[in-house]
Structure 1
Amino acid sequence: MREVTITTDTIRLGQFLKLADAVDVGSDAKWLLGEGVVSVNGEPEARRGRTLVRGDVVTVDGVDLRVT
């Protein structure tokens, strides 16, 4: 599992995907979420604005990313 460190207490999912290099731009995040290949803590997620906190695990196309 890859850990991705944030500098604030929370981060939006779309921003996190960009920080983790899962996407290049916000429109890519929107497309990726629309494809249904993103989950947060094991539950499918489609909202770019979903707030993440440290300890959350985002799975993108089978790759686990932990928010630290």
Structure 2
Amino acid sequence: MQEPKIIQIDRPFITLGQLLKEEAIIPSGGAAKWFLSENEVKINDQVDQRRGKKLYAGDQIQIADIGTFVIQNE
């Protein structure tokens, strides 16, 4: 199993849509809704499809066939 990728943030939270865009998983923020309807995304082992879902330090995001990400504060 692949090691999780650490995502450093310099703010209190990042939204799921921002994470997808910043990690180049989607080409633009507008693609987030489609991506989330077509792919299983788990946040802390719970399936979530809200692009505005706030992710905080310690949250773990698993995206099927892409990888695992862990949020950390800088």
Q: TM-score range by the shorter chain?
A: 0.7 to 0.9
Aligned residue number for residue 7 of structure 2: 4
- Tell me the TM-score normalised to structure 2 length: 0.80
Which consecutive segments of 4 or more residues in structure 1 shift more than 4 A? none
Whether 1:57 and 2:60 are equivalent positions in the alignment is: yes
C-alpha RMSD of the superposition: 1.3
Whether 1:29 and 2:28 are equivalent positions in the alignment is: no
Structure 1 or 2, whichever has the larger Rg, is 2
Secondary structure of the residue aligned to 1:58 is strand
For structure 2, the 5+ residue unaligned runs are none
Percentage of identical aligned residues: 31
- Tell me the TM-score normalised to structure 1 length: 0.86
Aligned residue number for residue 48 of structure 2: 45
Aligned length, in residue pairs: 68
